[in-house]
Amino acid sequence: MFCERISRLRGAVSSSDRQSETANTPSVNCRHRGVETRGRGNTGRFIDTVMPPTYNADKRLPATRMARHIFVTGGVVSSVGKGITVASIGTLLKARGVNVAVQKLDPYLNVDPGTMSPYQHGEVYVTEDGAETDLDLGHYERFIGTDLSSEANATSGRVYSSVINKEREGQFLGGTIQVVPHVTDEIKRTILSCAEHLQAEVLITEIGGTVGDIEGQPFIEAIRQIRKDVGRENVVYVHVTYLPHLNSTGELKTKPTQHSVRELRSMGIQPDIIVCRSDFPMPAELRGKIGLFCDVPADAVIPLPTVESIYEVPLVLAREGMGRLIAAKLRLPEDDGDLSAWEDMVARLRAVDEKVSIALVGKYVELEDTYLSVRESLKHAALFHNRKLDLFWVHSEQLTSENVATRLASAQGIVVPGGFGIRGIEGMILAARYARESGIPYLGLCLGMQVMVIELARATLGSICVNSTEFDRQVEHPVIDLLPEQRSIERMGGTMRLGSYPCRLVPETKAAGAYGVDLVRERHRHRFEFNNDYRELLSKNGLVFSGLSEDGRLVEIAEVAGHPWMLGCQFHPEFKSRPQRPHPLFRDFMEAALNTVPPGSQAQLPL
C-alpha cells in the first residue's frame, strides 16, 4: 500500500519536473514512518511527498574517517573541573602517540561568547582562525600543545542559526523542523565534521553545563545517537561529578552523584567512567559504593581531589588508571606513554620557593577567570626562571594619583591586560605612568599597549586631551582610533580584527631580542589601532615601533626607549603561551622583573 501511494504521488509530477526538483532540492528526512507532508521545493512548486519509512543517517551526516569519541558530561554543579579533566585526558592520550583533538559544545543561545560580559563568561579565547571561543579551549591548547580552530567550539545559538538558515533556504523541503532529528543532526554534524577536519584519531567532546539543564538536552540526545552511528566500541562516556563534604559528619556524600548518573541514564546514556571531584581525599570504599549504585566497575570510578596546580591533574588521572581504561575501551596503545616531561614540570612547580611579585591592573579583577590566559602565561614565565608567581590583583577603577605608588609599591612588574570600554581607563593610564617614571617593567596587552601610548602622548604633548576615540570620540588628540574600514560597521559580534596576523620585527629592539626571528604571527581581538598621524611625533619622543604589520601600516608592538623594559603589543600573546614553552614576551618581561627591586621593598640604610 505504501509503495502504491509513492507511485501515485510520483506520477503527479512529470519526468522533466521530477529531474529538475531532484537535482535542486535536498531530500526530506524524518523519523516518522508513512507521514504525509506537503513542501515547497527550490523550484517554487508545491510537491506532495511521503516521508521515507526508515531513517538513513548516512545521507544526512558528513562522510568521515572512523574517529573514536570520548564524550565528557558534568553533574551536580557547574565549574567542577570538566575542562581541566578533558584537557588532562587529551594529555594522557597524546603521551601514547594518539592524534587527539578536543571540542567544547556550549548549550547557551549566544552564537559565541564574543559579546558576553566577562562577568558572565570569563575570558574569551581566540583561536588562530579568529574564532571567539570558550575559555576551556585555552586549557585544551595549553595542555595538549595543539592549535585548535573554530570547529572546536559550538553553541546552541550557532546550531539553531544553522538549522533556521537551512529551513529558510528550503533545504528541508517544507518538512516540520524539530529538535529531533534536525537540531540533533546539526549537533552530530558539528562533532563529526570537527573530527574529520582535524584528522583526529580520537575526538574528546565536552558538553557544557550539567546534566538536567533544559538547554543541554539536545546535546545529550545527539551524543547518545552518535554511539549508534559510529558503533558502541568507538565511544566512551565520561561523567564528571562532585562529592560534597559535610563538616558536621566529616563525610564525602555520594548521593548527588547517584542522582546525577540516574538523570544521565534516563536520557539514554550509561557512563563508562565516573570522575569524582572533591576537596578531600576519597576513601577507597566509596569507589565500590558509587560503582554499585551507578552500574560501573569500581576501577572506573576515578577520584580527583583538588590539587595545588591544575598541571598535576594529568598525573593524578594517570595514577588512578584513567589512561588505561580509555585505551582498553577504544583499543588504543596499552602502554602509559611518555609523561616524563610533564612529571619534570610538575616537580619543578612543587620545588620552587622564591617568588616574583607581579601586579595585574585590570577592570574585571573581581572575576579572575577573565584574565585566565594572562595568569597562566605569567606562571609559565615564572617557572621558566625557577620562580613562583606572586600575582596580586589591582582594580584600575580604584587607582588614583594619590594611591597608585602605594598600591603598586611591591610590584616587580606591572601587567595591563585587554578590555573594552572607558571604565577604569584612567587608573590603567596611572599604572603606565608609574611604571615609566619608576623604571618598573611593564607589559601592555592590547588595551594595555593603547593606554601606554596615551600616557606617553599626554606627557609629550603636555595635555590631558589625548585619548582613544573608543573613550572620547571628540578628543583633540586621538592617538588611538578606528581604522577607516571599521567605521561603517554596526554589528558587534565577530566584526573585530580577529585571529592570527603576521608581525615584522624591527632589529635591535627588545621585541626582536625576545622572539629571535624576523617575522611572527600573533592572535588579535580588537577594533582600535594606533593612529599613524602621531607616529613621527612619538617616535621623536621615546616611543619605538618595534613590530609592524607586513605592509608597515599597523603598529603591532611599541616600546619606550631608555626604559629597562616597557613594551606593549596590540595582540594577545597570552593565547600562545604553553606551560613548557612560555611566550617570548612574557619570558623576557619576567626576566626583567626578576632584576627589579621595587621602590616599596628597598631597605632603609642605617645612618
C-alpha 501/C-alpha 488 separation (Å) is 22
What's the Cα-to-Cα distance from 175 to each of 29, 38, 219, 575, rounded to whole Å? 8, 7, 22, 44
Non-local (6+) Cβ contacts of 342 within 8 A are 91, 95, 311, 314, 315
C-alpha 183/C-alpha 155 separation (Å) is 12
C-alpha 273/C-alpha 238 separation (Å) is 5
Question: Which one of the listed residues 312, 556, 574, 591 is annotated catalytic?
Answer: 574
**Integer Rg of the chain from CA:** 28
Known active-site residue 569:
no
Joined together, the cell numbers standing for residue 503 give: 608581525
Rounded to 5 degrees, what angle do the CA atoms 243, 246, 251 make? 70
Question: How is 470-495 classified by DSSP, letter by letter?
Answer: TT-TT-SEEEEEE-GGGTT----TT-
C-alpha 336/C-alpha 334 separation (Å) is 6
C-alpha 245/C-alpha 9 separation (Å) is 65
Contact yes or no for 326/332 (Cβ under 8 A): yes
Contact yes or no for 180/51 (Cβ under 8 A): no
Residue ranges in 297-356 assigned as alpha helix (H): 313-319, 322-330, 340-351
Joined together, the cell numbers standing for residue 266 give: 534516563
Joined together, the cell numbers standing for residue 576 give: 600562545
Three state DSSP letters for 499-520: EEEEEEECCCCHHHHHHCCCEE
C-alpha 439/C-alpha 563 separation (Å) is 6
Phi, then psi, of 291 in degrees rounded to 5: -60, -40
- DSSP H or E run through 168: helix 156-168
Strands (DSSP E) contained in 148-287 are 153-155, 202-207, 235-242, 245-246, 251-252, 273-278
Question: Which one of the listed residues 182, 524, 572, 583 is annotated catalytic?
Answer: 572
C-alpha 567/C-alpha 560 separation (Å) is 7
423: DSSP letter: T
Joined together, the cell numbers standing for residue 435 give: 611604571
Residue ranges in 352-442 assigned as alpha helix (H): 372-384, 404-407, 425-438
Question: Which one of the listed residues 446, 529, 556, 563 is annotated catalytic?
Answer: 446
What's the Cα-to-Cα distance from 330 to each of 38, 199, 261, 414, rounded to whole Å? 44, 17, 22, 47
C-alpha 146/C-alpha 379 separation (Å) is 19
Number of helices (H) and strands (E) in the chain: give both, helices first.
20, 25
Q: Which residue has the cell 588595551?
A: 447
Known active-site residue 572:
yes
Active site residues: 446, 572, 574
